[in-house]
Chains A and B, each alone.
Chain A
Amino acid sequence: MNRKHTLALTAIAAVFLTACAAPMPTSADLDKLAKDMASRSFRAQGQAKLDRLEQDEDNRLCSDADSKGVSVTEADAKAIEARNLASIKAPADGKYLGDFKAGEKVAQSGAGKTWTDKEDAPNGGNCYNCHQISQTELSYGTIGPSLYNYGKMRGVTDPTSATAKPIVEYTWGKIQNSRAYNACSSMPRFGHKAILTETQIKDVMALLLDPASPINK
């Protein structure tokens, strides 16, 4: 073998060794790699501070399952739902429903909490981004189920009645903290994460459950 060949072979071996020398990190190491990457890839802007990158345990478990294409374990799902359910408080004055017209405005607005939003401006509910609600609004998203006729379909004729109580309380809870009923729901936790005020949530409740609301006609 001449010198040229030896050199070429050595070069090939070197490339081969570099490629094979470092094995693929373990899944846990890759988790850490991604976490470190996130922590050095963002900066604070407006109200969007870096603490938003810190996941709570619920998000950590759901994200991990999502990235593996599986569901969270039954035990994890139960634990997530239990602690989120515990966060839900009934309205202080016992009144669950506000004004459906104001509720429609909250449902229409997608504003709030981005780095371009003013911190003191009211946040929106983003409802139409994912749900059909009224029949007149044709620009609605499809990530969530249709909420058209939400109250009517569930037989709500008097939201203050004993028969309506379970669905009224469930709807309240779902808007306050969706993860109480579905561990890894995609829906924001409007009450728990202080996206909407109690008054705004009451107004959205009225939009969905008031028999006078246009969506229940």
Chain B
Amino acid sequence: MDDNHRALLVEVLDIEPAELLDRWLDVQSGHELAIERPRGDAPLRAQGRVIVEALRAALVTNDSVQWQDLYSLLERVAHRHAHGGATFEQTGLFLTAFKRPLFERAAVKLPPGSPLLVELLWSITVLLDDLVLRSTRTFMTERDMVIVRQRADLEELSSPVLKLWDDIIVMPLVGTLDSRRAQVVMETLLAAVEHHGASVAILDITGVQTVDTQVAQNLFRTAAAARLMGTDCIVSGIGPQIAQTIVELGIDFGNLKTRSSLSDAIRSAFSTVGLKVARTEQ
């Protein structure tokens, strides 16, 4: 935006500044994406006022520090909206609605049909669209952070290792085994083997939805690493569906010990460590 436009825009902002905020809020009310105002107009009006002030300061000085202040102010506003349960569309509408009072004032300021008017309207649009994009980015960053946090929680929650018996540990797997999770599974299992000193580790995949070549590869690697540590690895919970897939895909489980159910795996583990289950005499 050149100096001329900035000066003009400052003049536009200065036309009836008290009504500017009213108009801004009016334009939004009734729209389906309008931010809800359970506590009246005051909070939104206050946000509008500081945004107008920061915008004016940035336009007057055209100083990078002032622009940065405006951007960080918008980040805080978007942040507050997000915490209030607003969506990024709502915050977007809140900012784009500001175009309307500005357009109206620009039309008062400049004669109709003036080429400068079109230029000014365009400058306003570009400026506000940029602000909307910035606030949207804030939303996205926050959401990404939430996703990262949830993923970490999920990884932790979905990879428990249980000590089934002396020398026998079980890791029930649930969900999807992508390469990222497979890495976590392997590390968790190996750490548990080290910690418990287990002779047999059972990986139960009853809760795993699909087994493809990638997943099979990951199971192999985990079993191979466990074997290097001197622990027998059994993969259990291979249902008919998964067994069919394995055969159809031509996956060779080779010397990996597999069992269809967890109880079979436990029986096999017991015999490996030399234990026997017996019925008591009644």
A and B: real partners?
no
